[in-house]
Amino acid sequence: MKKIATHIALALILCALSVSAASAKSKGQNVTLKEDLVVGGTTVKSGTYRVTFDDQTNELTFSDAKTKQVVAKVAAQASDRRGGNRLQMNTSSKGDAQVLVAIAFEGGRQLFTVGGDSNAARYEDGKKADDNQ
């Protein structure tokens, strides 16, 4: 009987540890950029990238989809998404460059705001924004 109780306790401990490890997952999606995009001060050339958000470090990472090499990393904040179920990338014009303001993944319920932009809520309609607004 003591042996069975020990096995049950060990199984419960393993389950608890696996749940905490699972909560540290990164959310992500492959994204194809048709034009260059500035992400956290780094210019990301047009192409296909794996974009992930790590909820432990609050970082948004752009990695080359083929080589897995990290191209850009930037601090981001997660907030609830108001609507939409498709990929959403919100940008702002800074001179000739497009700068990433926020991104939401297809089927996701969170909007990831880059660099703590307090204006991200006004960009949630999925349209590009510029400084003149």
Q: Give me the residue spans of the domains in the chain.
A: 26-130
What is residue 81's predicted lDDT score, i.e. its pLDDT? 87
* pLDDT digits 0-9 by tens, 53-73: 998 999 999 999 999 999 999
**Residue 93 and residue 45: Cα distance in Å, rounded?**
16
82 or 21: which carries more pLDDT confidence? 82
Rounded percentage of the chain residues whose pLDDT exceeds 90? 52
Contact 103, 112 (CB under 8 A): yes
Name residue 110's beta-bridge partners: 80
User: For the chain, what percent of residues have pLDDT higher than 70?
Assistant: 67
